[in-house]
Amino acid sequence: MPESRTYGRRRALPARKAEQEGFDAGRSDGTVTRREAITGRVVKTGSGAAQGAGWDDVDKVASAAGGGDLYLKVTENRMVIKILADGPFDVFASHWIDEIEEGSKSVRCWGTPDCPLCAIGDKAKRFSACFDVVSLEDPEFPVLKVWDVGIKIARQLKEIAADAKRGPLNRPDLYFTIRKEQKKKAVEYTLERVKERDLEEEYGVAPLDDEALKQFLAECHNYGDRVKEPLDEEGMEEIVQLLMDDA
Ligand SMILES: [Zn+2]
């Protein structure tokens, strides 16, 4: 059962159509053909780019735009990011369906009492809060990504957002670092605030200039946009059937 995936401003697409367009948006030839595919775009910063020196950029932009690489991939290496809004644009829970053999096992909960999977007693255990962020993993090539955070990091961010002294999350002089660590039983994430003035010295990262920041802000999601469309009734019914057959 493939999941439906859309990115951007599109809403209320039937799941099957959304799925098709999700594939289009993630085309691996690097062409960006749809509004949704703009996440992952690269804005070149710095004035040092000589004319004709664009071939490195071709590969970098292609790898950022293609391959469905829309989500921020947090690694063991501490990565600098800039959060672009003071809150998540999409928050949802997902059911984890091990019985799904093809495609993602994670199925967005409808979030309403009539969710067919909740109705048969399956609990939506995975929490997601999605933020637009600029990844400065490669400081020369900042990239717009969707950062899908779990409940622990979401709570830390909420605390900072609500704190007049430390927030808001999108304060102009505020950046964050994030990294993950594989502990015995689970993956643990470490989030830290970084002031713009310390970026260069502590991380060798130049802050985003106003122009780059403006371009990224123009490409952000709106509050209420869905990073992943829920399955329609028919799609849910198939999964319910799958679970029933298996039981
Ligand atoms: Zn549900």
pLDDT digits (tens, 9 = 90+) for 186-220: 899 999 999 999 999 999 999 999 999 999 999 99
More confident residue, 47 or 163: 163
Q: Ligand 1 centroid to 216 CA: how many Å?
A: 33
Q: Ligand 1 centroid to 122 CA: how many Å?
A: 7
Question: Is the pLDDT confidence value at 39 over 80?
Answer: no
- Segment 164-174 mean pLDDT: 96
The pLDDT value recorded for residue 196 is 97
Per-chain mean pLDDT for the chain:
81
pLDDT band at 15 (very low <50, low <70, confident <90, very high): very low
- Which residues have a beta carbon within 5 Å of ligand 1, which is an ion? 109, 115, 117-118, 124
Q: Is position 155 within any domain?
A: yes
Q: Ligand 1 centroid to 128 CA: how many Å?
A: 14
Q: Is position 49 within any domain?
A: no
Structure letter (DSSP) for residue 145: E
Q: Is position 54 within any domain?
A: no
The pLDDT value recorded for residue 228 is 86
214 and 43 in contact (C-beta within 8 Å)? no
- Segment 91-112 mean pLDDT: 93
Q: What separation in angstroms does the CA of 163 have from each of 89, 152, 170, 235?
A: 20, 17, 13, 42
The domain in which residue 95 lies consists of 71-219+231-246
pLDDT band at 68 (very low <50, low <70, confident <90, very high): low
CATH number for 190: 2.40.50
The pLDDT value recorded for residue 69 is 83
Count structural domains, the chain: 1
Alpha carbon distance 114, 240 (integer Å)? 13
Q: Ligand 1 centroid to 117 CA: how many Å?
A: 5
Q: Is position 28 within any domain?
A: no
Q: Is position 14 within any domain?
A: no
Question: Is the pLDDT confidence value at 24 over 60?
Answer: no
Q: How confident is the model over 125-156, as pLDDT tens digits?
A: 999 999 999 999 999 999 999 999 999 999 99
Q: Is position 137 within any domain?
A: yes
pLDDT band at 20 (very low <50, low <70, confident <90, very high): very low
Q: Is position 13 within any domain?
A: no
pLDDT band at 53 (very low <50, low <70, confident <90, very high): low
User: Taking Cα atoms as reference points, which of 70, 62, 226 lies closest to residue 133?
Assistant: 70
The pLDDT value recorded for residue 207 is 96
Q: Is position 38 within any domain?
A: no
